Homo-oligomer: A and B are copies of this chain.
Amino acid sequence: MVRASRTPGDSVHAARQQTGFLALALLLLAALLLPRPALAEDGYDLWLRYRPIPESEAAPYRARIAQLVAPATTPSQQATRDELVRGLGGLLGTPPPLADAAGVEGALIVGTPASSKQIARLGLATKDLGREGYRIRSVEIDGRDATVIAANTDAGAMHGAFHFLRLLQTRQPMASLDIREAPRTQLRMLNHWDNLTRHVERGYAGESIWDWHKLPDYLSPRYTDYARANASIGINATVLNNVNASAQQLTPMYIEKAAALANVFRPYGIRVFLSARFSAPVEIGGLKTADPLDPQVRAWWKAKADDIYKAIPDFGGFLVKANSEGQPGPQDYGRTHADGANMMADAVKPHGGIVIWRAFVYSHETPDDRAKQAYNEFVPLDGKFRGNVMVQVKNGAIDFQPREPFHPLFGAMPKTPLMMEFQITKEYLGFATHLAYLGPMFEETLRADTYARGKGSTVAKVIDGELHRGTLFKSGLTGMAGVANIGSDRNWSGSHFDQANWYVFGRLAWNPELSSRDIAEEWTRMTFSNDAAVVQPIVAMMMGSREAVVDYMTPLGLHHLMGRSHHYGPGPWVEGGPRADWTSVYYHRATKDGIGFDRTTRGSDAVSQYAKPVAAQFDDPAKTPEEFLLWFHHLPWDYTTKSGRTLWDELVVHYSRGVDAVADMRRTWDGLSGKIDPERHAQVATFLSIQQKEAQWWRDASIAYFQTFSQRPLPEGYAPPAHPLDYYESLEFPFAPGNG
């Protein structure tokens, strides 16, 4: 652009002056291209930062993106074009010129055979891409190099466009692209546990992003950015409200508000679902009962569904938590979960809607082993649900602990589509301030082998329908849900690193067999830097971070040891209260003789809910992977672990290792000073210092408590807890965030 075409006729003086102007111009240009100081890196942009590619690397991208052909005859196409203009404009300095058809070397064409004649003429096979897949291919059009992003639908083209931008954001080569992607699951869904008061249950990122009071009139620009972020990782569904639902959500006023959000999300291929309170016919319908077999109740739900679909024609359906933790449900009327789900499924069926019924249930009576309940209640119902019902199962049988073995329902309901429920918000992994990348945790569950149809029957294959496709499981519905970690905080997720958990959830929902490490690297490049000296240490931190939390909170298969109600900090001493299975002592069962929950055939026999090879493994402490040891076994304090250490010593080693790992993360992060923008660096650094303090607290409190049972000294070289046990027991946190 600024090129001096000097001629011999120039005087020396002019040349000098000219050089001065050139220098000035370059200086100003450089100033323009420098990261702008006012662009504070506050995290709002998420992984869609689109910061300029350094000049030294930009040329190959500019050459391949010399023109943009992106029809915009529908809102979705317009959104795709806007994103490309914004993204390429940011990455390349200026957006490529728009054209109606490829006409220069290096055109980028995005669309469908219907929207673009040039794409149609290329005759790329797109059948297998389905409704949401896409291809990105380097092609020749009229003898010129071009790149096409082709799909069957606008939604597919949008996904392809985001993928294409990601290639630039992560500095992938552009020369000979041949990418073919289609999602492995149909529903990739966020569950917002957001109340109409804007309180978010288990939310650690401020209050709900839904400003219900100002809806439907005021549509915050944030709603669009939420849709962009989700579309960029393939999320195509969202449940706006808490599973502990208010019936008010189904009143006309709130349906109208939900419809306004649905209108914002629609161009981004995202459908709205609502959590439905089972007793709504009584609470807002004026009926005397919510019995699912009562004709009036059935009629009420039909009419309610009709009303909702009038306002939201592409409404997804209902998510229901029933007969669980005090929520109303069909069992209140002596009916089954299938009776309840099927009634609601019948109401939405004419409109193409579905019902997602949660399997996280437990009855009013404290059970011998809560881990067994969902299986016991749901397996007998396999095959009894309507074709438009899915059952949503948490990754593990207790409740989103830092580590749980996979839920025994996976593989055990071949006639029922099971939807995975992961928790993205870190209720049990340190809230917003602990750095814990959940990718490895999600991956661990997805790769777990259920043996339901022999070796290789992974949870991922249950979730994406492959395991039972064409055999028993008919509906073809598949999906994955994540309990959102999104709130009103400027950085969306409460901490910069928690954005990665939103990201990895979306990517794994799209393809449950992706590698969490690859995703971490992808996210790091987009979020922080492509500098290898940044990427490598950050990815290493992330990949080790969840194991660190397991170590300092719940090592060796321990679980459910947190503070009562708010779940903040250690509470292994929690006992009493309304239900034994809401205490810690119910789960760790520590005595002078040993520790752990005996779920073997000699104990609660939860192991027998797994397929035989799995059950046999978990039934034997010697064969049980050590990370699940105390989940399945009650063992004496002097039990010899794989390291040769006693169980007690091994516990102390794990607790301490967790704290040390956080110290390591701090060192790593400190070493990145100057390579990360100061604003984000400072916040992460402070959060890591909080994490270290709290990791130490978890370790010390846990050791102090369990030592009262083990009555053994700490292994040599391991420092005793900083305070006596009663200090830890005395701490109270009445205002810890996110309480239910």
Contact = CB atoms under 8 A, between A and B. Distances in A.
Contacts of A693: 217
A217 B18 contact: no
Contact of A18 (B18, B197, B213, B737): B18
A735 interface: yes
Interface in A679-697: 679, 683, 686-687, 689-690, 693
A197 B10 contact: no
Contacts of A2: 24
Given A24-B2, A29-B28, A213 B736 contact: yes
Contacts of A22: 21
Contacts of A433: 214, 218
A193 to B, nearest CB: 16
Contact of A218 (B38, B198, B213, B690): B690
A719 interface: no
A624 interface: no
A331 B36 CA distance: 60
A18 B29 contact: no
A282 B17 CA distance: 81
A5 B13 CA distance: 11
A242 to B, nearest CB: 13
Contact of A689 (B25, B29, B196, B217): B217
Interface in A1-38: 2, 4-5, 7, 9-11, 13-15, 17-18, 21-22, 24-25, 28-29, 31-32, 36, 38
B11 A488 contact: no
Contacts of A217: 686, 689-690, 693
A10 B9 contact: no
Contact of A735 (B9, B197, B218): B197
A490 interface: yes
A737 B488 contact: no
A39 interface: yes
Contacts of A679: 221
B218 A683 contact: yes
A207 interface: yes
Contacts of A32: 28, 31-32
A212 interface: yes
A248 B693 CA distance: 23
B198 A737 contact: yes
Contacts of A212: 735
B206 A488 contact: yes
A94 to B, nearest CB: 11
Interface string A416-441: 00000000000000011100000000
Interface centre among A5, A213, A689 (most CB of B within 10 A): A213
A489 B248 CA distance: 25
A214 B733 CA distance: 12
A686 B219 CA distance: 9
A644 interface: no
Interface in A212-232: 212-214, 217-219, 221
Contacts of A214: 432-433, 690
Interface in A27-66: 28-29, 31-32, 36, 38-39
A31 to B, nearest CB: 6
A334 interface: no
Please tell me the size bucket of the interface on A: 35 or more
Given A9-B13, A217-B686, A689-B217, A248 B734 contact: yes
Contacts of A4: 17
Contacts of A15: 14
A13 B24 contact: no
A594 to B, nearest CB: 36
B218 A687 contact: yes
Interface string A725-740: 0000000001111000
Contact of A488 (B14, B28, B207): B207
A687 B211 CA distance: 13
Contact of A28 (B7, B28, B213, B686): B28
Nearest to A5: B17
Nearest to A2: B24
Interface in A612-659: none
Nearest to A89: B37
Interface in A566-597: none
Contacts of A198: 207, 737
A644 B14 CA distance: 83
A257 to B, nearest CB: 10
Nearest to A13: B9
Contacts of A219: 686
A595 B145 CA distance: 82
Contact of A10 (B11, B488, B490, B686): B11
Interface in A297-353: none
A738 to B, nearest CB: 9
A213 B735 contact: yes
Interface in A701-740: 734-737
Contacts of A17: 4-5, 10, 14, 18
Contact of A11 (B9, B197, B206, B213): B9
A248 B735 CA distance: 9
Contact of A207 (B24, B38, B206, B431): B206
Contacts of A737: 198, 213
A197 B207 CA distance: 11
A686 B218 contact: yes
Contacts of A29: 28
A484 to B, nearest CB: 18
Contacts of A31: 28, 32
Contact of A13 (B10, B13, B25, B687): B10
Contacts of A221: 679
Interface in A475-495: 488-490
Nearest to A90: B38
Given A2-B24, A36-B36, A198-B737, 12 more contacts: A10-B13, A11-B14, A14-B15, A25-B25, A28-B29, A36-B38, A196-B734, A198-B207, A217-B689, A218-B686, A218-B687, A490-B490
29 contacts: A4-B17, A5-B17, A7-B13, A9-B14, A10-B17, A11-B14, A14-B14, A14-B17, A17-B18, A18-B18, A18-B21, A25-B25, A36-B36, A38-B38, A38-B39, A197-B735, A206-B207, A207-B488, A213-B737, A214-B690, A217-B686, A217-B689, A218-B433, A219-B686, A221-B679, A248-B735, A488-B488, A488-B489, A490-B490
A-B residue pairs, 6 tightest by C-beta:
A14-B14, A21-B21, A28-B28, A196-B735, A10-B14, A217-B690
